[in-house]
Amino acid sequence: MPIVINSLEYQLPADPRVSLLDFIRDHTGLPGTKKGCDHGQCGACTVILDGVRINSCLTLAVMHDNCDVITIEGIGSAEQPSALQQAFVKHDGFQCGYCTPGQICSATAMLAEIAEGWPSDATQDIGTRPSLSDEEIRERMSGNLCRCGAYPNIVAAIREVADAGQ
């Protein structure tokens, strides 16, 4: 059974108990996805699965046969960082950096959600395309915790990319 991670195909583990997070970290050589709480509470393990952001610690790898996963390594690289990665550096959207891969994966998917018109709990009128207020960004990013408290800088980085239409 194959799974596609960052455009490369991998065979799923024989052990059905392996989480998607552990599979990514231990079986693919992709250490960017972080194990924070291992209970789905912090968002450090956020990846994009078939276009939707998920906490990879809460799902089993074998459940995702023929799925497409994007990790932080699939969003950009040191040589070619994505616009969000560049904005996080510019706005100092991290301190220790442990949550940053999950924050960037979540923000990448969040911007796609907004482009598709998905409402959130902060959306004033769900019948119209959501506007990207700071409140809207904070609500949509609330599943990603930063113990260092870099939230204003994270919001500024996301806002810069959203305003630039990237």
What is the tens place of the pLDDT at every residue in 106-147?
A: 999 999 999 998 888 888 887 777 778 899 999 999 999 999
**91 and 34 in a common domain:** no
- pTM for this structure? 0.94
**159 and 87 in a common domain:** yes
pLDDT of 166 > 70? The answer is no
pLDDT at 117: 87
**92 and 28 in a common domain:** no
- CATH number for the domain that contains residue 142: 1.10.150.120
* Residue 157 domain boundaries: 83-164
**66 and 21 in a common domain:** yes
Q: Mean pLDDT over all residues of the chain?
A: 94
What is the tens place of the pLDDT at every residue in 82-113?
A: 999 999 999 999 999 999 999 999 999 999 99
Distance between CA atoms of 35 and 79, rounded to whole angstroms?
25
